[in-house]
């Protein structure tokens, strides 16, 4: 279950809608397919894609195959995003600034020209 498969699976609005429904709780294929103007086999295929991507898991209860969210793949996405968070996350900027403060605690006044926004590749983003 690769990032490839996971991102690919998420690139479809039907599949994201299915996930959104599953966030409310485990349910059956028939139930899942109701909101969509497409055949059941089509939904079934979407579920297979989601399953292969590690985004859902399927159980078995009599003739139903209840689907539920499988957190691992979502966590993988989140972990991948971690490498880029510094590009968009405000709170990271604050953490970044805070860490810098700690680092330069001794130099009381020196650090004021934080205008050199060279976040480009400094060590600031490392974990």
The 10 Å Cβ neighbour count of residue 119 is: 13
C-beta closer to a copy of itself: residue 8 or 28: 8
Q: Could you tell which of DNA, a copy of itself, none binds residue 45, using a CB distance below 5 to 8 A set by kind? A: DNA
Q: Which stretch binds a copy of itself (CB under 8 A): 29-37, 38-46, 70-78, 106-114?
A: 70-78
48 vs 119: CA distance, rounded Å: 41
> Which residues have C-beta within 8 Å of that of residue 54, sequence separation ≥ 6?
1, 5, 6, 70, 72, 73, 76
Dihedral pair phi/psi, residue 67, rounded to 5°: -105, 150
Q: How far is CA 66 from CA 27, 62, 73, 98, in A?
A: 5, 10, 19, 47
Instruction: Print the binding letters for residues 2-41 with a copy of itself: x by CB under 8 A, - otherwise.
Output: -xxx-xx-xxxx--x--xx--xxxx---------------
Among 29, 36, 52, 57, binds a copy of itself (CB under 8 A): 57
How far does the chain reach from its first CA to its final CA, in angstroms? 25
CB of 12 to DNA, least distance (A): 4
CB of 116 to a copy of itself, least distance (A): 14
Q: Could you tell which of a copy of itself, DNA, none binds residue 14, using a CB distance below 5 to 8 A set by kind? A: DNA
Among 34, 72, 94, 111, binds a copy of itself (CB under 8 A): 72
């Amino acid at each position: 279950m690769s990032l490839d498969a996971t991102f690919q699976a998420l690139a479809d609005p039907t599949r994201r809608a299915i996930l959104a429904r599953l966030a409310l709780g485990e349910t059956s294929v028939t139930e899942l397919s109701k909101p969509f103007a497409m055949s059941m086999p089509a939904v079934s295929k979407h579920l297979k894609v989601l399953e292969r991507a590690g985004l859902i898991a399927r159980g078995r209860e009599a003739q139903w195959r209840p689907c539920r969210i499988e957190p691992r793949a979502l966590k993988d996405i989140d972990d991948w995003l971690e490498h880029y968070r510094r590009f968009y996350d405000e709170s990271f900027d604050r953490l970044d600034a805070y860490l810098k403060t700690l680092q330069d605690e001794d130099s009381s006044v020196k650090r004021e020209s934080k205008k050199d926004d060279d976040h480009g590749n400094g060590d600031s983003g490392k974990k």
